[in-house]
A = this chain, B = another copy of it.
Amino acid sequence: MREFLRTKGFKMTQQRELIFRSFFELGEHISVDELYEKVRKLDRSVGYSTVWRNLKLICRVGLAQEVNLGDGVTRYDRVTRAPHGHLYCVKCKKLTEINIAAAIDPLQTLSRQNKFVPEGYKIEVQGYCESCQKERDKESRGRKTH
């Protein structure tokens, strides 16, 4: 890792190592806050912006990718060999990962037709998870503008 970063012009520091380690130990869809919490448990002296900047760095060197579920918080997904998408329950916010290989195929074709070079895919299916399907009707009866 240290080598990997060096070749890209970055240095390895104690905090950086802690942050990288923590990030990869956590699951997917990690937010800055979540990672910050985890890191703080191991080293109370690490600053929030350091975590934030390192998360950005992880993305910059291609080890992770930002994910935006529209809840106002940017999350980060480790880039794995298997690209995945999400089933996002709009009621309970639960996320379920799905393999999107089958969906990527037609997208590559479309990209080609538009002379577009794809680098990544964000696929999200919004809807209701099994346990929230019953609540669905109530939901649509909301009122008030705010």
Contacts and interface: CB of A to CB of B under 8 A. Distances in A.
Interface of A: 9-10, 53-54, 56-57, 60, 66, 68-70, 74, 85, 87, 89-90, 96, 98-100, 102-104, 106-107, 109-111, 114-130, 133, 136, 142-143, 145-146
A121 B126 contact: yes
Given A70-B68, A102-B106, A106-B103, A96 B114 contact: yes
Contact of A145 (B57, B107, B124, B133): B57
Main secondary structure of the interface of A (DSSP, over half): mixed
A95 B107 CA distance: 15
Contact of A111 (B87, B143, B145): B87
A111 B99 CA distance: 11
A100 B119 CA distance: 18
Contacts of A130: 114-116
17 contacts: A57-B145, A68-B68, A70-B74, A89-B116, A98-B107, A98-B114, A100-B110, A102-B110, A103-B103, A103-B104, A114-B129, A114-B130, A116-B128, A117-B127, A118-B127, A119-B126, A119-B127
B124 A111 contact: no
